[in-house]
Every structure is written in structure tokens, then in C-alpha cells.
Amino acid sequence: MRISRSLIGITAGLIFSNSLAMAQVFPPRQPQPTPAPVPVPTQPAMPSVGGAPGTLTKSTPFAVIIGDPTKAFIQIGNMRSPLDTNFALGRGLAGRIALDKYTHELGSGQKAYIHLTGVSNPPIVTTEGAELRYQFVIPTLQFKTYYKDYSGEGDSALGDLVAEKVLVDLFVLPTLDQRRFPTFHSIRIAVTGSVKEAEKCTYFFDIIFPVNICKAASNYFNQIQPALENGIREVLLQPQTRAQFEQQIYQFVRADLLSKAGINPMSPAQVEILQAEFRGTDYVVNYVPR
């Protein structure tokens, strides 16, 4: 069977045109720009005072700030003067208390007198929660007795008595002053003990006028306890006492903080308190030397 040449040419042209159409290459699409992420606003972090550049941190027990406890004492006495009773707790915390002698009236018109003498050991210092506790122990508190007058005869007419291991408990609650330096907020005091019974308590004068010296000394001691508590507290809470204490504390803390920073405390440099608080009875401060 013969096929015409014209038909063959047409067919070949169609095949060639279709091949060109299939081989046509289109340019690639341009990539679409990716949208930039929208920043999410965040809460700015609070600055850390302790971590600020140039900031120093110091922690000091309040007992160290108050002063050397081995030099603290309570002395009770009214033999020579009502102001023989005095005490010292620390920097600027010292004073005198007026304790009157005890006078016992006898039915015969005569009088018996009782005086006190005794001094404490250095206190045992401990922490009780947020308070600093000073435990003063007076090993022997002597009750010195006289009858009629202060002669040798009057001294020997009555027996003396003692109260052993009298305890004076003093609690100090620390706080911060307006400059964020340490001071104290309040004072609590308690005096405990009892008069030891003597071998002889009752003495007779002019035959029918007895004196029970043991009972008289116990009554006196019951009067002395609140007098000591209130007297020491009143002295410590006086504005003048607080002002002296805070001035000495300021000088001590400033010198201590400058020394930690390697600065001579005798220089005119000062410290700027950035943050301060009491953790228990420890004074914790963040500061910058200036």
C-alpha cells in the first residue's frame, strides 16, 4: 500500500510541533517573602539589687552590732547609794537604776534595814525567733541586814540572806531606722529567782517584838523584780539612750561596710544603702561605697 508523500510530511510536521510544545520551559516563580515575626511585648525584669554592678552584700549578727557581750553586765546594789545599780549591754546601752533600801518597822518603834549587793556573769546570747536573748545570771544576790543603825552591833543583830542564780532575761527585737541602719524596736525583761531560806529566820527584840528576816527579804525581792525590769526598760527606751545607740551603731556599721569594700574607714567615704533587712537577727545589707 503506498502512502503519499504529502501525508507523510504533514504527519511529521505535527509530531515536531508537539515535541516543541512539550519541551517548552517556563521561568520559575519568584519566592514569596516570608512575613517577619511580630515581636511579643514582655514585662521588663525587675533589677536585682544584689546583682547590680558594684554592689556589695554584708550579713552581720545583731549581737555583734550591739557590742562585745563579754563586757555586758548587770550590777545590783544600794549599800552606799540608791544608784549603785547599773548595767551595760552594748554600744550606748548603759545606765543606772535607783533602788531604795527595804525598811521594816518593828512594833517597838525600831527599824530593820535590808540592802542588796550582787553582780552578774557575762550574758549567754542566743536567738529566739526574731529576738536576741541575753541571759544574765547573778550567782549570788546578797541581802545585807541591819538593825536600828549601821553600826557593827546593828550589822550583827540580824542574819544575812542570799538568793542564788538569779536570772535576768533580756530580749531585744531589732529593726531598721529611717536610714536603713540597724536599731532596736522593743525590749522585754524578766527577773526570776527566790531567796534561800536561812537556818534562823525569826529574831526577837525587846522580848516581844519579832522580826522574820526571811519573810522580809522575800517581800523585798518581790519588790525588786519589777523595779529592775521597769528600770532597765525605761533607761533603754529613753530618747537620749536610743540616740546614743543609733549614733554609735551608724559609726560601727559604716566602718564595717567600708572595710569590706577595701576602703579605709577613716576616709570621708560613705555608704549608700540600697536594700537592708533582718533575717532572723542577722542584718543583711546591699550597699555601694561612695
Half-sphere exposure of 153 (CA within 13 A, CB side): 2
Asked if the model's pLDDT at residue 42 lies above 80, the reply is no
- pTM, two decimal places: 0.78
Asked if the model's pLDDT at residue 15 lies above 60, the reply is no
pLDDT for 209 equals 86
Asked if the model's pLDDT at residue 3 lies above 50, the reply is no
Q: How far is the C-alpha of 102 from the C-alpha of 34, rounded, in Å?
A: 99
Cell numbers describing residue 50? 544584689
Query: 208 CB contacts (<8 Å, ≥6 apart)?
Result: 107
Average model confidence (pLDDT) across the chain: 85
Higher pLDDT: 96 or 54? It is 96
Res. 52 pLDDT band, cuts 50 70 90? low
pLDDT for 107 equals 81
Query: 86 CB contacts (<8 Å, ≥6 apart)?
Result: 75, 94, 95, 96, 97
3-state secondary structure of 282: strand
Q: How far is the C-alpha of 94 from the C-alpha of 71, rounded, in Å?
A: 11
- CA-based torsion, 173, 179, 180, 181: positive or negative: negative
3-state secondary structure of 201: coil
The secondary structure of residue 69, as a DSSP letter, is G
Cα–Cα nearest to 280, from 131, 67, 134 = 131
Query: Residue 289: beta bridge partners?
Result: 271
Res. 53 pLDDT band, cuts 50 70 90? low
CB count within 10 Å of CB 90 equals 22
Give residue-wise pLDDT tens across range 151-171.
999 999 999 999 999 999 999
Q: How far is the C-alpha of 58 from the C-alpha of 284, rounded, in Å?
A: 6
**Three-state SS letters, 125-177:** EEEECCEEEEEEEEEEEEEEEEECCCCHHHHHCCCCEEEEEEEEEEEEEEEEC
pLDDT for 207 equals 77
Alpha helices in the chain (DSSP H): 5-22, 62-66, 152-156, 213-236, 239-260
Percentage of the chain with pLDDT > 90?
A: 76
Query: Residue 287: beta bridge partners?
Result: 56, 273
205 phi/psi in degrees, rounded to 5: -130, 140
pLDDT for 34 equals 46
Res. 208 pLDDT band, cuts 50 70 90? confident
CB count within 10 Å of CB 155 equals 14
Query: 242 CB contacts (<8 Å, ≥6 apart)?
Result: 183, 184, 236
3-state secondary structure of 87: strand
Cell numbers describing residue 158? 540580824
pLDDT for 44 equals 35
Segment 76-95 mean pLDDT: 94
Cell numbers describing residue 78? 544600794
Q: Which residue has the cell 531589732?
A: 174
Cell numbers describing residue 198? 536561812
Give residue-wise pLDDT tens across range 242-280.
999 999 999 999 999 999 999 999 999 999 999 999 999
Amino acid at 4: S
pLDDT for 54 equals 77
Q: How far is the C-alpha of 134 from the C-alpha of 124, rounded, in Å?
A: 6
